[in-house]
Amino acid sequence: MLDLLIEFLAVILPTLFAVGIEVVSKKIKDHRYWRFGVIAFGVVVSILTGFQIWKAKEEANADRQGAITETSDRVSKSVSQSVSQQYAQTINNLQLQIESLKHQLDAEGKNVEAIKGSNLLTGKKPIPVEVTNPEGMPAREIHVSAMFVEPNNQYGKRAKQFILTTNRVMNGGRVRITCQNKFTQASAVISGANFSSGGGGGMQDDRTYVSGIAAPNWSPDFPLVLTLYFDEDDVGSCKITPLS
């Protein structure tokens, strides 16, 4: 209310002063107090005008600071959300790798005889898996063995593990696997390795998965193990393509 009154006076007083100068008599103008009154009136109008200018600057600064704060908060929230999503995806991939490794170790510990008689060692009953080399790359020997393992119900009712061995050291463990039937989730680990790193892998669609392991290298001593989770009886025939 006070601000509105001051704004009104700052606008109307100069007009009243101009009107007053015209209507007062010459006798009043010649009086010595008239001059003091004119000076005092001018000082009051100047003070009101200066106060209005100061008030306007303060409000402008407050609005500008508020806009800066609002923009900063919005950008901070956006960045935090983006970083949280990236960390969540990384943690989820690591959990998948840990779960796959745990199930692999459990299955190997409980089914030693089954592993000894697996297709990888005996060469009997080959599974329908096709391995292709990228065009222009030198040929390499890749052998695949598949077996059903204990599933993780969080990702699927059944699970199948593909153990890939090679005769030479590869660059990381990047492969693409495409199957005839759908699967819900997949993971990749280098067997015997204490860590793995990489990026760019993951589910491409409900029948294709890409392993994005950049280190350690897939080699004769460290097989690449792919685990597929699904709800159907089997994933059918699969095609595995090395990407590096």
For the chain, which domains are there?
2-78 (no CATH), 115-242 (2.60.40)
Residue 53, number of CB atoms within 10 A of its CB: 11
What pLDDT score does 188 carry?
Answer: 92
What pLDDT score does 190 carry?
Answer: 92
What pLDDT score does 23 carry?
Answer: 61
φ/ψ bin of 210: left (φ > 0), alpha (ψ from -120 to 50), beta (otherwise): beta
What pLDDT score does 48 carry?
Answer: 74
DSSP string, 37-89: HHHHHHHHHHHHHHHHHHHHHHHHHHHHHHHHHHHHHHHHHHHHHHHHHHHHH
Global pTM reads 0.47
What pLDDT score does 40 carry?
Answer: 78
Q: Output the CA angle 93-99-105, nearest 5 degrees.
A: 135
pLDDT means per 10 residues in the chain (244 residues)? 66 67 62 70 77 80 84 78 76 80 69 53 55 58 91 93 92 93 94 82 93 91 94 93 85
What pLDDT score does 18 carry?
Answer: 64
